[in-house]
Amino acid sequence: AGRLPAVIKIPVVVHVIHNGDAVGVNENIADGQVLSQITVFNQDFRRMSGTPGFGSGVDTTIEFCLAKVDPNGNPTTGIDRVSRSAASYNTMAAIQAAKTATIWDPTKYLNMWTFAFGGGMASTLGYAQFPGGAAATDGVVVTYTGFGTIGTATAPFNKGRTLTHEV
């Protein structure tokens, strides 16, 4: 009685969709920024004492880690940098096309994408696909300025909580 279940570890792949900028510049966010988001997830989902995640919630016994093996069985950092031809993504159709082109098997990975939004999408922070949606686009999308806590993450959305909310 009162025992917590074993910790469930979820492998994450972060697809950093960029337009050829150097790593750490604009939408091609740095590895440290990605890691800062994983830290926030674990603080929030594990309700870690002494962190902003220690609130009135519960310890879900879920932990997130960047994937160590890609879909082909090769070692990976869990950060998938993809240079595409768009400086910004202005429509859901463009975002969905990028997701479909880059997704890893959603039954084995939690797919996340960072984008530079523009046009009609410019005010979007992020969104998640509802369960039961198309497998080809399953995952979570967020603006690169709302991902993690450092780098290009911009106040007031530099706390990593947009993605916690979406997940």
Whether the CB-CB separation of 78 and 12 falls below 8 Å is answered with yes
Q: How far is CA 19 from CA 29, 96, 104, 143, in A?
A: 11, 17, 20, 14
> How crowded is residue 35: how many other Cβ atoms within 10 Å of its Cβ?
18
C-alpha 102/C-alpha 12 separation (Å) is: 14
Find all residues with CB under 8 Å of 94, minimum gap 6, and list them. 86
158: Cα separation from own chain's centroid:
14
167: Cα separation from own chain's centroid:
9
Query: Is the peptide bond between 156 and the residue preceding it cis, with omega within 30 degrees of 0?
Result: yes
In the set 125, 160, 166, 167, the catalytic residue is: 166
Q: Any catalytic annotation for residue 166?
A: yes
The letter for the amino acid at 119 is G
Return the closest-CA partner of residue 89 out of 138, 123, 62. 123
- Which residues form the catalytic set? 166
